[in-house]
Chain A
Amino acid sequence: MAKLRWWDLFRMALRSALLQATWNYERQQGVGWAFSLHPALQRLIPGKQGRCERLAEHTAYFNTQPTLASLALGAVAALEEQREAGAGPDAAAVARAKSALGSSLAVLGDRLFWMTLRPFAACLGAAFALGGMVRGALAMWVCYNAVHLTWRFLGTGWGYRSGPAVLGKGLRASLERLTRLAALGGCVVIGVLIAALLAPHGAPRRLVFQVAMMAGIGVGFVVAQRPRPSPTEWALGAAVLCVAASWLRHP
Chain B
Amino acid sequence: MTAADPGPAVKVFGTLLAGGVAALDATAVGQTLLAQPLVTATFLGALWGDWTTALEVGMILQLLAAGTLPLGSRTPEDYATGGVIGVGLAVALATRHPFEMYRESCAVIGAIVGMVSATAGIPVLKWQRRVNEGLGRWCEERLRAGDEGALSAAHRAAIVLAFAAGVGWCAVWLALGGWGLARVVEGESLRLSRAWGLAQPLWLGLGLAQLLNVFLRRRLGRAALFAISLVGTWLVLMLRTP
Contacts and interface: CB of A to CB of B under 8 A. Distances in A.
Interface of A: 17-18, 20-28, 30-32, 34-35, 38, 48-49, 51-53, 55-56, 59, 63, 66-67, 106, 110, 114-116, 118-123, 125-126, 129, 133-134, 136-137, 140-141, 144-145, 148-149, 183-184, 186-199, 201-203, 205, 208-210, 212-221, 223-225, 230-236, 238-239, 242-243, 245-247, 249-250
A216 B202 contact: yes
Contact of B212 (A115, A219, A221): A221
B29 A52 contact: no
Contacts of B241: 201-203
B22 to A, nearest CB: 13
Interface string B194-238: 111111111111111111111111000011011111111110011
Contacts of A22: 132, 135-136, 139, 154-155, 158
Most buried by B among A31, A125, A195, A243: A31
B70 A122 contact: no
Most buried by B among A34, A125, A224, A242: A242
A148 B205 CA distance: 28
A35 B70 CA distance: 22
A52 B152 CA distance: 13
Contacts of A129: 38, 55, 58-59
Contacts of B151: 31, 34-35, 38, 55
B130 A145 contact: no
A17 B29 CA distance: 6
A119 B211 CA distance: 6
Contacts of A18: 28-29, 155, 159
Contacts of B27: 20-21, 23
A225 B224 CA distance: 19
A21 B213 contact: no
A236 B86 CA distance: 13
Interface stretch (B1-9, B13-21, B141-149): B141-149
Most buried by A among B30, B196, B228, B238: B30
Given A21-B155, A35-B152, A202-B237, A59 B143 contact: yes
A232 B133 contact: no
Interface stretch (B95-103, B115-123, B166-174): B115-123
B29 to A, nearest CB: 6
Most buried by A among B34, B38, B77: B38
Contact of B202 (A115, A187, A201, A242): A242
Contact of B132 (A23, A34, A53): A23
Contacts of A233: 119
Nearest to A149: B32
Contacts of A141: 32-34, 39
A205 B198 CA distance: 13
Given A140-B39, A191-B230, A59 B155 contact: no
